[in-house]
Amino acid sequence: SDDYKLVSKKWKVKHTSIDLGDGVFIKEGDMAIMAGPCSIESEDQISKVIDHLKENDIKIMRGGAYKPRSSPYSFRGLGIDGLKLWHSLAEKAGIKIITEVMQVSQIEEMYDYVDVFQVGARNTQNFNLLDELGKVDKPVMIKRGISGTIEELLQSAEYVFSGGNEKLIFCERGIRTYEKATRNTLDLNAVPVLKDKSHLPVVVDPSHGIGIRKFVHQMALAGVMAGADGIIYETHEVPEKAYSDGQQTLDFAQSSQLARQIRETFALR
């Protein structure tokens, strides 16, 4: 297709490996686990998640400082102060940070405190944001659009890649379909298709993909078997008290079990 080329396997045969430093990678042949709360809430919350991740040898923490909420009255995140606090604690613990950037003006203020910039499903086709992230020397994970096709996701990545930033990761996080029994429809078809078409790593987000806590682990493991290079999921000490997405968030016991099962399942692949 003429609509994208640099992110395709026709352009580059070798798999792209994302090196976050200190021996932490997101790459083909490996299984990156990224876990953390939907939103960054407080110093206490961050510390508890970091301790949990350390106990389970999970090297990458997710969390939102800028939150794209469907309602303007919902919690919208702690912003740059929350990100700075999080970064100071994570760096001491040797944990890498993946977090969402919502607009161009945030890139510069976030830059020193981020290991991977996340482009959320509501911004997959924010082409100005993608252009600016093309000029940045840090990895970018692009989530699939709410109603986005696989082809559109590839084209969004092409924006960043063609702008000069080749450190890209895809994330399948579910799409909107006619099905109402789940929050989204996790399209695991996207995993083999993206792996076939592109040299970039593919991550699955079962938390947003199904949106129901008790089903997250099954869809995570299905994602591993579908060929994902990483799994990103939500965890919180007390999911019921989380400021956002508690209904799909695992408690620490569930998260420990899932991290173990992800590794066991990956070893069977």
Of residues 64 and 201, the one with the C-beta less far from ligand PEP:
64
Of residues 68 and 227, the one with the C-beta less far from ligand PEP:
68
121 binds, among ligand PEP, Mn ion, none (CB under 5 to 8 A by kind): ligand PEP
Of residues 121 and 194, the one with the C-beta less far from Mn ion:
121
Q: Which residue is nearest to ligand PEP (CB)?
A: 120
Q: Does 205 sit near Mn ion (CB under 5 A)? A: no
Q: What is the CA radius of gyration of the chain?
A: 17
* Cβ atoms < 10 Å from Cβ of 182: 16
- Distance between CA atoms of 218 and 179, rounded to whole angstroms? 18
DSSP 201: -
- Distance between CA atoms of 241 and 237, rounded to whole angstroms? 9
Of residues 158 and 245, the one with the C-beta less far from Mn ion:
245
Residue-level length of the chain: 269
User: How many residues belong to the site for Mn ion (CB under 5 A)?
Assistant: 2
Q: Does 229 sit near Mn ion (CB under 5 A)? A: no
Q: How far is the CB of 210 from ligand PEP (least distance, A)?
A: 12
Q: How far is the CB of 156 from Mn ion (least distance, A)?
A: 20
Q: 211 near 223, Cβ under 8 Å?
A: no
Q: How far is the CB of 194 from ligand PEP (least distance, A)?
A: 16
Pull the structure tokens for residue 16: 């792209």
In the chain, the amino acid numbered 91 is E
Q: Which residue is nearest to Mn ion (CB)?
A: 38
Applying CB under 5 A, which part among 54-62, 148-156, 244-252, 259-267 lies near Mn ion? Answer: 244-252
Pull the structure tokens for residue 114: 């981020």
Q: What is the DSSP string of 126-176?
A: -HHHHHHHTT-SS-EEEEPPTT--HHHHHHHHHHHHHTT---EEEEE--B-
H/E/C letters for each residue in 37-59?
CCECCCHHHHHHHHHHHHHCCCC
DSSP 3: S
167 binds, among Mn ion, ligand PEP, none (CB under 5 to 8 A by kind): none
DSSP 8: B
77 binds, among ligand PEP, Mn ion, none (CB under 5 to 8 A by kind): none
Of residues 62 and 87, the one with the C-beta less far from ligand PEP:
62
Q: How far is the CB of 26 from ligand PEP (least distance, A)?
A: 16
Q: 72 near 57, Cβ under 8 Å?
A: no
In the chain, the amino acid numbered 228 is A
Of residues 38 and 168, the one with the C-beta less far from Mn ion:
38
What is the contact mask toward Mn ion in residues 26 to 55, using x (rule: CB under 5 A)? ------------x-----------------
Which residues share a beta bridge with 113? none
Applying CB under 6 A, which residues contact ligand PEP?
38, 64, 68, 120-122, 143, 173, 208
